[in-house]
Structure 1
Amino acid sequence: MDAYGHVNNVVHLRYLEEARIDFMFRLAGEAVATTDEPAPFKAGCVVARHEIDYLKPLFHRYEPVTVETWVTKLNAASATIAYEIKDAGTVYVRAETVLVPYDLEKEHPRRLSAGERAFLEGYFDDSAAAPRIR
């Protein structure tokens, strides 16, 4: 928290990171657990860009907030993930992250695999009333 009792802006990015990791590794891993597909995103993925709008200050408290996550854009070699940090009555943050699949061994960007694309398409919605992942 900062000097005013607000959740610090860096902490908001940490919340988004935790939601993204859960989405890309736990949820995506569960989606292919019963198939012969390799686990999505295990080959590597990097953040190319963050955009974040702080709509209202989030004060330190004991009640949890929710980070809703969905996909708004898919290209051959990138995906845009959108988020809202909110509680039952208030949206505190809206954000987007551009992710680029990355070959960690060769140290260069790669294309989304068929399994990664199929997983992300299941959460795609570029409308204002998009369904969210909680």
Structure 2
Amino acid sequence: MRHLYRCPLRWSDMDVYGHVNNVVFLRYLEEARIDFLFRPDQQFQRGSVVARHEIDYKRQLVHRHEPVDVELWVTEIRAASFTLAYEVKDGETVYARASTVIVPFDFDAQRPRRLTPDEREFLEKFQDDAAHGEGGAVAA
């Protein structure tokens, strides 16, 4: 299963050529990640930090008034980290593919922590579509 975030485009996202600036794509990923992780029905309110981002730009996204879709899913779950994958797209048109490594973090102790059983269970619901034979995005 994939999480779907409908990301609004803003005038300030544009570069001088009227395209969405490449740096802004990282903010789109952040918005989708926050929408996915910080919901009342799961446990990530304890905290997490980004350890790594990778992004591949596929084509230019021209600014418009309609939102762009950001699909997000889990590709790897480890004891003390997990990896999210994303596609920024409209239908079959993909503007960017990306991944983010997230580390659960204990802000009181100022150190990384292991995933809780509840966090792992939540992430497993969104694990790699291809590996589980599932398809389609589910909006929250």
Q: Shorter-normalised TM-score: what interval?
A: 0.7 to 0.9
Unpaired segments ≥5 residues, structure 1: 31-38
Per-residue deviation, 1:127: 2.8
Residue pair 1:69, 1:133 contacting (<8 A) in 2 also: no
More deviation, 68-77/84-93: 84-93
Q: Name the residue aligned to 1:64.
A: 67
Q: Name the residue aligned to 1:24.
A: 37
Higher share of residues assigned strand: 2
Per-residue deviation, 1:64: 1.7
Q: 1:15 to 1:130 in 2, by over 3 A?
A: farther
**Separation (CA, whole Å) in 2 of partners of 1:67 and 1:130:** 18
**Separation (CA, whole Å) in 1 of partners of 2:92 and 2:117:** 38
Secondary structure, aligned partner of 1:20: helix
Q: Name the residue aligned to 1:5.
A: 18
**Separation (CA, whole Å) in 2 of partners of 1:65 and 1:42:** 26
Give the paired residue count. 124
**Separation (CA, whole Å) in 2 of partners of 1:84 and 1:48:** 19
User: Percent identity, aligned pairs only?
Assistant: 61
Please list, as runs of the form range in 1=range in 2, the aligned pairs for 1:119-134 lying within 5 A after superposition.
119-125=122-128, 127=130, 131=135, 132-134=137-139
1:115 aligns with 2:128: no
**Separation (CA, whole Å) in 1 of partners of 2:25 and 2:90:** 14
**Separation (CA, whole Å) in 1 of partners of 2:134 and 2:24:** 25
The AA in structure 2 aligned to 1:10 is V
Q: 1:63 to 1:89 in 2, by over 3 A?
A: farther
Residue pair 1:70, 1:133 contacting (<8 A) in 2 also: no
**Separation (CA, whole Å) in 1 of partners of 2:99 and 2:89:** 15
1:74 to 56, 65, 77: 77
Secondary structure, aligned partner of 1:6: coil
Please identify runs of 4+ aligned residues in structure 1 that moved more than 2 A: 126-134
Q: Which has the higher contact order (CA 8 A, sep 6+)?
A: 2
